[in-house]
């Protein structure tokens, strides 16, 4: 019963509840970021308005791709847990619109799959990224798979944006798809940024899983086992009807908790 509850909760979490989680997170992030834009405190570097390092999951921009119907708040960080909320900005790269190369990773299927359709972007298509430095218009260069030649590096006055997501069947990724885009206008100045690629944690790279919260999975499993033991005890003491009423919601809750922690172990672009 424990295994079946876990499997059911896992499938439900990845295919249904993760989409709802994504919607809720995006609404909260949108509220927060719009307040920052209105106050002029939206981040323009790796630090916030008070020069504190941006926390994982902090909103940094709004990505709008009209041709795909994408309107997502971008967050700081690219680990699997962070990308549950929305597409994430890789910490070692500049913010979109700033001079240099910026990398944005997004999920292809779970948690709203915000980047599910980015491979449909054609060369010449345009989209917008609103940051603390204003509205940035990007033009798509093309789609790139592993092994394809890289486009020439941008000059000092140019800004390049790379969107990354999983390619392959939904929930069965087989690689990474990159969409290169170039800022149409002159690049904005980049703020101070001390993070470097070599210093990124392994879970921030493309297709990486996040094992930093394994301890939470252990507690979740203990909770699920405790609920099941309680259900068996109650079944013998108070009867089937009352046991179902009390322990069905508890089992579902524990199963979803476990499933949520297991989902974080999956590739971050899934």
Binding site for another protein (CB under 8 A): 118-124, 139-143, 145, 148-149, 151-152, 158, 167-170, 177, 179-180, 182, 184
d(C-alpha 147, C-alpha 181), whole Å: 18
Token pair, residue 110, equals 């779970």
- DSSP H helices, 60-193, are none
CB 198 to another protein: min, Å: 27
Token pair, residue 31, equals 């509220």
Chain centroid to Cα 256, Å, comes to: 19
Task: Indicate the residue among 39 and 146 with the shorter CB distance to another protein.
Answer: 146
Helix then strand count (H, E) for the chain reads: 4, 8
Query: Going by C-beta distance under 8 Å and a sequence separation of 6 or more, which residues neighbour residue 96?
Result: 61, 63, 74, 89, 102, 104, 129, 131, 136, 138, 159, 161
- DSSP H helices, the chain, are 2-12, 18-39, 214-238, 240-265
CB 122 to another protein: min, Å: 4
Task: Indicate the residue among 40 and 152 with the shorter CB distance to another protein.
Answer: 152
CB 225 to another protein: min, Å: 31
- Answer yes or no: are the C-beta atoms of 20 and 109 closer than 8 Å: no
Task: Indicate the residue among 6 and 181 with the shorter CB distance to another protein.
Answer: 181
CB 33 to another protein: min, Å: 28
Task: Indicate the residue among 9 and 118 with the shorter CB distance to another protein.
Answer: 118
Task: Indicate the residue among 142 and 230 with the shorter CB distance to another protein.
Answer: 142
CB 140 to another protein: min, Å: 8
- Answer yes or no: are the C-beta atoms of 259 and 13 closer than 8 Å: yes
């Amino acid at each position: 019963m424990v295994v079946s509850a876990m499997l059911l909760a896992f499938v439900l979490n990845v295919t249904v509840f993760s989409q709802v989680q994504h919607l809720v997170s995006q609404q909260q992030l949108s509220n927060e970021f719009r307040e920052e834009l209105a106050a002029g405190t939206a981040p323009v570097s790796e630090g916030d308005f008070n020069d504190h390092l941006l926390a994982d999951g902090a909103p940094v921009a709004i990505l709008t791709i009209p041709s795909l119907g994408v309107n997502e708040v971008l967050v700081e960080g690219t680990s699997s847990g962070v990308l549950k909320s929305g597409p994430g900005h890789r910490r070692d790269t500049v913010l979109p619109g700033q001079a240099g190369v910026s990398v944005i990773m997004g999920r292809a299927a779970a948690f709203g799959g915000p980047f599910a359709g980015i491979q449909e972007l054609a060369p010449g298509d345009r989209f917008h990224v609103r940051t603390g430095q204003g509205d940035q218009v990007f033009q798509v260069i093309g789609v790139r798979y592993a092994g394809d030649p890289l486009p020439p590096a941008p000059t000092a006055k140019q800004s390049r944006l790379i969107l990354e997501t999983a390619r392959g069947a939904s929930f069965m990724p087989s690689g990474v798809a990159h969409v290169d885009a170039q800022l149409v206008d002159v690049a904005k100045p980049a703020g101070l940024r001390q993070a470097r690629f070599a210093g990124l944690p392994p879970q921030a790279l493309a297709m990486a899983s996040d094992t930093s919260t394994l301890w939470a999975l252990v507690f979740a499993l203990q909770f699920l086992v405790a609920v099941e033991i309680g259900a068996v005890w109650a079944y013998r003491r108070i009867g089937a009807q009352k046991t179902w009423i009390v322990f069905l919601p508890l089992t579902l809750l524990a199963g979803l908790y476990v499933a949520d922690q297991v989902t974080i172990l999956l590739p971050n672009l899934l």
